[in-house]
Amino acid sequence: MIRALISVFLALAGPLAAQELTLPQTAQQISDRSSTLDSYDLPTGPFADGAVPSRTVEGQVERYTWRLQAGSSTTLQLLAPLRDQIEAQGYEILFECEARVCGGFDFRFGTEVVPTPDMYVAIQDYRFLAAQKGQTVLSLLVSRDTPDGYVQMIRVTPFDAPAPAPIVVEQSVDGGQGLLAELQQNGHVILDDLHFRTGEVALGDGPFASLALLAGFLTDNPGLRLALVGNTDDTGDLVANIRVSTRRAEAVRSRLIEAYGVAADRIEAQGVGYLAPITTNATPEGRDLNRRVEAVLLVN
C-alpha cells in the first residue's frame, strides 16, 4: 500500500490536545459546511421503533466530507484506521454499526448526511461511528461508490468548551517507499489505487501513483522485470474471468508503456480469473477485494 498520507489535524480541546487523523493520499476534501452556532442530532443507536435514537448537541458544528480512490478497500478498511486514531486520542466510542445493523435505508435517511454530490451513501454499504471526548462529540460516516470512497465527519464543540483550532490539511509523502518495500520484500504487491469502470476492462483516467512508482523502480533497477496479474471474483465461468482479468492486466501494461515510457519487454500481463483469491467470495466485500491487479517482481 502506498503510505503517503494526508494528515488532518483537529484541535478538539485547544492546541495542546490536537488530534491527527490520516486519510489515503488520494483523499480530496469536497465540502466544509461549518456553523458557529447550530445543533446536531448525534445518533446513539440503530434505527428502532420508527426512529433513529439520538442526542441533540448544540454549539459550533463542523461538517466535512472527503472523496478518495477506495480501490478494493471495504468500508471497514476505510473506517478502522480512523477509529483506531480516535481511540488513541482518548475518545470513547459511543456507538458503531454497519449498514445492515444500523438499519439500512431507515438509518441512512434518519440521520444527517451532507447532500450529494458532496457525500454519497450506498444503502447496503456504509459504516457509522459516534464518539465523545469531554464535551466534544464527533461522528464518522463512510461509504463507497466504486471506485470512490466517501468520508463524512461532523464535529460539535459546545458553547462552554474551549474554542477549537481550525482544521489544517497537510500532505506528507514518503516517496512511495511503502509500496516498493512491499514489492521487494514479498515479491508482489496489490496496486490498490487502480480502478476500472464497472463491467469494463479499460483502465480509468488516473493518474495513478502506483504506476509512476513502478516506472521509476524499473528505471532504477535495469535487471528487474514485472508481471502484471489480473484477478477477478468468482462471478461467471472461469474462461470468461480469465479473459477479463487478462485484458485488465494488459490495460495496465499499456498505460505503463505509453504514459511512462517503460520498455515493452520489461512488463508482461497475465490473467488468472478467480484462481487466486485473497479472501472469501461469499460476501460483497470479499468479492471487491478479489478484483484486483497485482505487480509481481521478476529477476532477469
In DSSP terms, 23 is beta-bridged to 6
What is the per-residue pLDDT for 167?
46
**pLDDT of 200-235, one tens digit each?**
788 877 778 889 899 999 999 999 999 999 999 999
Which residues constitute the domain of residue 58? 5-172
Q: What angle do CA 120, 126, 132 make, to 5 degrees?
A: 100
Over the range 249-287, which residues count as b (16 or more CB within 10 Å of their CB) and which as e? Answer: bbbbbebbeeeeebeeebbbbebbbbeebeeebeeebbb
Task: Looking at the structure, tell me whether residues 198 and 154 fall in a common domain.
Answer: no
**pLDDT of 57-111, one tens digit each?**
999 999 999 988 776 678 998 898 889 888 888 899 999 999 999 999 999 999 9
Task: Looking at the structure, tell me whether residues 113 and 228 fall in a common domain.
Answer: no
Percent of the chain with pLDDT over 70: 84
Q: What is the CATH number of the domain that holds 141?
A: 3.40.1000
Which of 172, 199, 218 is the C-terminal boundary of a domain? 172
If one counts the domains in the chain, the total is: 2
What is the per-residue pLDDT for 4?
40
Task: Looking at the structure, tell me whether residues 16 and 164 fall in a common domain.
Answer: yes
Provide the pLDDT confidence category of residue 17 given band limits of 50, 70 and 90.
Answer: very low
Query: What is the grid cell recorded at 122?
Result: 450506498
Provide the pLDDT confidence category of residue 258 given band limits of 50, 70 and 90.
Answer: very high
Q: What's the chain's average pLDDT?
A: 84
**pLDDT of 157-171, one tens digit each?**
987 666 554 444 444
Task: Looking at the structure, tell me whether residues 154 and 32 fall in a common domain.
Answer: yes
Task: Looking at the structure, tell me whether residues 43 and 74 fall in a common domain.
Answer: yes
Alpha-helical segments (H) within the chain = 75-88, 99-102, 104-108, 177-186, 209-220, 238-260, 284-290
Task: Looking at the structure, tell me whether residues 113 and 159 fall in a common domain.
Answer: yes
Q: What are phi and psi of 269, to 5 degrees?
A: -130, 130
Mean pLDDT for 6-22 is 46
Query: Taking the model in full, what pTM does it have?
Result: 0.57
